[in-house]
């Protein structure tokens, strides 16, 4: 076990304030404590915000080319540490090694590259009639990130903020702080000016709350649960801060008649089980027509058999553990609720996977005969649990798809892509994949309704950290 000390503040690792309390980092596959990090306090947050505010003037005045060069070094540093990043994510998140190498350590590089491309071309000054409009940094950014994609979510907030000219204070999730500390080391090696990036580890209820409520923070960017997002939004509102919230989801994967059913179901199951189901945009509701329903259920159950929980360090493992014991019990409780409310279990279940005496594992689970009003069809489970719902016609499918408090993501499948796109345009969701369309780091990511406000990725993510000033001539 490694005891990590200090927070990264004003360009250096500085001793933590307070009583010396720590957070234990647990390997989800072994249940062993692998490290400790400081449990940051409001005093630590004060120091980090003060450093950011001190750096703000010089960083906002830094020419575009210099910011671009610094962030290019940072992107290259991430790329050069991909093996270490993957190993860290395996250890503290429980991500299967193959997924950590293919997604957790590579997606941040792609996102960072997209930010660099936007920064190189963004019009920070433009003419609008008789006005000249300037896009200015919005100020100090408080970034609060989740544990499910520990580096991606950091990069998706920190790099656009820095590109916009805003210094950042990051409070990462307490489950996965080691990835954040590795990122801070990469920032340091990239030679960014002291104070432009600061890291405070700690509990959300302490360090996170202090950051969201801090008078010295101008923008709060949060990714996490809707319940916590509401509290952060309220705190930001009291301080008249700008806020961006990327929250939960209960996304629908709609398979229209005539679609390639085999492929749609296979991809849909993979999407729902990706990252052990710990993905806010996961397609956790599969909607299938009456005519295709029985075959789809059979295909989904068969596909689920390929997701055998196992040791995340084994490259053959496709499904690792959940991040914590709390998360495991939450997911198992949802599975039990699904059975109790009358859904038909066709794969998995609440029992512990065979042969795994340790680790926060859950069996990959598929429910059929799920009704829209059931708990498992309404609430975000955040585990490898898929619900399959039946619809009569396209209007009924649309009613079910939109009949949720969330609106983050979704998928639509049809023989004719134009038909799928027409259906998707009527869905209340921020991003929808047509026939399995690939993720695009330059496109806006964010949701409708209780899935949040604001957008990340591409120029849309940069604009979250900018404010306008116009001069009329």
pLDDT of residue 82: 98
**Residue 388: pLDDT band with limits 50, 70, 90:** very high
Closest CA to 9 of 194, 174, 173: 194
Mean pLDDT of 60-65: 97
Q: Average pLDDT, whole number, for the chain?
A: 97
DSSP 400-469: HHH-SSEESEEEEE-SSHHHHHHHHTTS--SEEEESSPPP-TTS-B--EETTEES-BSHHHHHHTTEEEE
**Residue 18: pLDDT band with limits 50, 70, 90:** confident
Closest CA to 4 of 184, 248, 223, 251: 184
Mean pLDDT of 190-195: 98
- Using a 10 angstrom Cβ sphere, with 0-12 exposed, 13-18 middle and 19 or more buried, the burial of residue 437 is middle
**Residue 237: pLDDT band with limits 50, 70, 90:** confident
**Model confidence at 235: pLDDT above 90:** no
17 neighbors 47 (Cβ within 8 angstroms): yes
pLDDT of residue 236: 86
Active-site residue list: 246, 280
pLDDT of residue 366: 98
Closest CA to 113 of 65, 163, 165, 167: 163
pLDDT of residue 93: 98
Distance CA 240, CA 350 (A): 45
Residues contacting 84, CB < 8 A, separation 6+: 182
**Could you give all domains of the chain from N- to C-terminal order, each with its CATH number?**
2-247+451-472 (3.40.605.10), 252-440 (3.40.309.10)
The percent of residues above 90 in pLDDT, for the chain, comes to 98
Mean pLDDT of 97-120: 98
Q: Using the 8-state DSSP alphabet, how is residue 306 labeled?
A: T
pLDDT of residue 16: 95
242: tokens are 């700008």
pLDDT of residue 448: 97
Measured in degrees and rounded to the nearest 5, phi and psi for residue 145 equal: -115, 155
pLDDT of residue 19: 75
303-347 pLDDT, tens per residue? 999 999 999 999 999 999 999 999 999 999 999 999 999 999 999
Mean pLDDT of 92-110: 98
Measured in degrees and rounded to the nearest 5, phi and psi for residue 276 equal: 60, 30
**Model confidence at 278: pLDDT above 80:** yes
**Residue 223: pLDDT band with limits 50, 70, 90:** very high
Distance CA 191, CA 261 (A): 51
pLDDT of residue 35: 98
Q: Which residue has the tokens 């307490």?
A: 174
């Amino acid at each position: 076990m490694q005891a990590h000390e200090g927070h990264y503040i004003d360009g250096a690792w500085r001793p933590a304030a307070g009583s010396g309390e720590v957070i234990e980092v647990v390997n989800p596959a072994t249940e062993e404590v692998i490290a400790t990090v400081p449990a940051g306090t409001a005093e630590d947050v004060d120091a980090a915000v003060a450093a950011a505010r001190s750096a703000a003037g010089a960083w906002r005045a830094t020419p575009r080319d210099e910011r671009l060069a610094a962030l290019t070094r940072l992107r290259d540093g991430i790329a050069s540490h991909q093996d270490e990043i993957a190993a860290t994510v395996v250890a503290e998140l429980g991500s299967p090694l193959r997924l950590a190498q293919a997604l957790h350590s590579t997606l941040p590089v792609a996102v960072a590259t997209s930010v660099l491309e936007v920064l190189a071309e963004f019009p920070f000054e433009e003419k609008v009639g008789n006005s000249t409009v300037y896009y200015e940094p919005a100020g100090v950014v408080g970034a609060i990130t989740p544990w499910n994609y520990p580096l991606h979510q950091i990069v998706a907030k920190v790099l656009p903020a820095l590109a916009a000219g805003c210094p950042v204070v990051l409070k990462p999730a307490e489950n996965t702080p080691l990835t954040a500390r590795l990122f801070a080391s990469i920032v340091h090696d990239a030679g960014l000016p002291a104070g432009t990036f600061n890291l405070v580890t700690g509990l959300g209820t302490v360090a996170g709350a202090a950051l969201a409520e801090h008078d010295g923070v101008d923008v709060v960017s949060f990714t996490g649960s809707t319940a916590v997002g509401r509290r952060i939004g309220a705190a930001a509102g009291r301080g008249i801060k700008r806020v961006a919230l990327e929250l939960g989801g209960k996304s629908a994967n709609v398979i229209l008649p005539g679609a390639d059913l085999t492929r749609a179901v296979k991809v849909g199951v993979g999407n729902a089980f990706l990252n052990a189901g710990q993905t806010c945009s996961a397609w956790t509701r599969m909607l299938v027509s009456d005519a295709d329903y029985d075959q789809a259920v059979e295909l989904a159950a068969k596909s689920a058999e390929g997701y055998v929980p196992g040791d995340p360090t084994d490259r053959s493992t496709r499904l690792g553990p959940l991040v914590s014991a709390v998360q495991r019990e939450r997911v198992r409780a949802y599975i039990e609720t699904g059975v109790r409310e009358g859904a038909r279990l066709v794969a998995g279940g609440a029992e512990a996977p065979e042969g795994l005496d340790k680790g926060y594992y859950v069996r990959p689970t598929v429910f059929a005969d799920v009704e829209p009003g059931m708990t498992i069809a309404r609430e975000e489970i955040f585990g490898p649990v898929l619900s399959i719902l039946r619809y009569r016609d396209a209007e009924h499918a649309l009613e079910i798809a939109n009949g949720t408090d969330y609106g983050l993501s979704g998928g639509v499948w049809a023989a004719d892509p134009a038909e799928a796109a027409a259906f998707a345009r009527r869905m209340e969701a921020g991003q929808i994949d047509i026939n399995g369309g690939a993720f695009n780091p330059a496109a806006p990511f964010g949701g409708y309704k209780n899935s949040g406000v604001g957008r990340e990725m591409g120029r849309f993510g940069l604009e979250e950290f900018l404010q306008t000033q116009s001069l009329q001539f």
